[in-house]
Amino acid sequence: MPRSSSPLSTGPLAIGIDIGTSGARAVAMRPDFSIAAHSAIALERFGLNGRDPAVWWEAVGATLAEVLKCIDRAAVLSIAVDGTSGTLLPVDGSGRPLAEPLMYNDKVADDIILTAIAGAAPATSAALGATSGLAKALSFQHLPGVATVLHQADWIAGQFSGRFDVSDENNALKTGYDVEARRWPDWIAATGMRMEFLPRIVRPGDVTGTLTASAAKMFGLPRDVVVVAGTTDGCASFLATGATAAGAGVTALGSSLTIKILSDRPISAPQFGIYSHRLGDTYLAGGASNSGGKVLAQHFPVARIVELSKKIDPATETGLDYYPLPAPGERFPAADPALPSRLEPRPADDADYLKAMFEGIAAIEALGYRRLAELGAPRLTSVRSVGGGAANPAWTAIRQRKLGVALLPALSDEAAAGTARLALMGAGAAGLL
């Protein structure tokens, strides 16, 4: 049953929290998906070490406190958390970190671990590679006192629920979880991983507990607020856009270029950098290219990009065939660690040079969606865009010409809003809505 609240309440609310590499964000969302309040706070406010879990928690607490100032706390029904995919930390039985976390892009250099995974994992597994969650879990399991190896979002959620033994299907993917069979596969044990150190897995949106007495007191929230299993930051960003139909794509134009498409079947092709997260009975298939905003920033400051973009005619082609990369190496739509950046010849006009880079990145995006379709994903029907590059009109027009489908507005570009949707799902499942 819905919980009663004061006459000043904005109605039932769910809170989504996003903890990323640079900061924490929180969103309070109504059942119609409208946002009642939001906040963002940089990690550096609490320390220069962005991989310190204590810094994560302080930032989360501060941004949540800001949101709670703007709403009726009694109206909050649920909380969910997303975090960076592939960031892991070992904890003891009370959830105390036992070592500095390994972040999403940290590589495990132990050849014994990597060889063990390569010899046991299926060719389609997202656990292959030096940055995989499984490689990190194997590197942590020998620490004295370790009870569980958790993902970033799991540990933050545990600060609310007191549970440090549970994760979700999306965060667990790169640690080797089988999203089709919905279990930890037997081959993981063959790598030497002690299976008792892996968390229990639930679906994103499942209720995992309620607030501890200390968390409820800290934030002035009712004890019966439910804590809901979250997801990765990439999946949360997809959910935030409002894309719900098979064939709907979401492109994130940040420092890198990430694309995902909603599919009725999983698509897994590590040779192309492609893997699939599971959301209910559907899948988010896609990958991340090294191209994107980072390579643009190597050549022009943001103000100059804005200035030059006004001079670009997006309806015409430069005729230049660029493949913009910040450094040699590509992950998707082809996994090639030696692929060189192609940014020659350079036109005399800076606006033409920027335009050619826009065209090159848009061509990579289009190739990515075509590659997914070739491997069995639905035909692309629309694209929603998030990230800083989504606000550039010239780039948007070039992308639409290359993609050949409608570019639809995103309901939100905040990952925390996508996680708030999961929190609403959990509140509904618990009978609170």
Task: Give span(s): CATH 3.30.420.40, the chain.
Answer: 13-234+415-429, 243-408
Using CA atoms, how far apart are residues 204 and 185, in angstroms rounded to an integer?
19
In this prediction, residue 388 carries a pLDDT of 87
Per DSSP, the three-state class of 344 is coil
Using CA atoms, how far apart are residues 196 and 99, in angstroms rounded to an integer?
19
Tens of pLDDT, residue by residue over 8-35, are 445 999 999 999 888 999 999 999 999 9
Instruction: Supply the DSSP string of 136-156, one letter for each residue.
Output: HHHHHTTSTT--EEEEHHHHH
209 touches 162 (CB < 8 A): yes
Using CA atoms, how far apart are residues 216 and 77, in angstroms rounded to an integer?
12
In this prediction, residue 20 carries a pLDDT of 87
Tokens standing for 284?
């988010």
382 touches 250 (CB < 8 A): no
Integer CA distances (angstroms), 295 to 243, 288, 324, 328, in order: 28, 14, 7, 11
In this prediction, residue 133 carries a pLDDT of 97
Residues of the chain with pLDDT under 70: 1-10
In this prediction, residue 337 carries a pLDDT of 85
302-312 core/surface letters (b: 16 or more CB in 10 A; e: else): eeebeebbeeb
88 touches 125 (CB < 8 A): no
Tokens standing for 206?
């499942």
Strand 257-263 vs strand 282-289: parallel, antiparallel, or unpaired?
Answer: antiparallel
> Token match 């209720």: residue?
207
In this prediction, residue 9 carries a pLDDT of 44
* pTM summary value: 0.89
CATH numeric code, 13-234+415-429? 3.30.420.40
Tokens standing for 89?
């930390």
In this prediction, residue 207 carries a pLDDT of 98
Q: Which CATH number fits domain 243-408: 3.90.420.10, 3.30.565.10, 3.30.420.40, 2.60.120.260?
A: 3.30.420.40
Report the 10 Å Cβ neighbour count for 431: 8
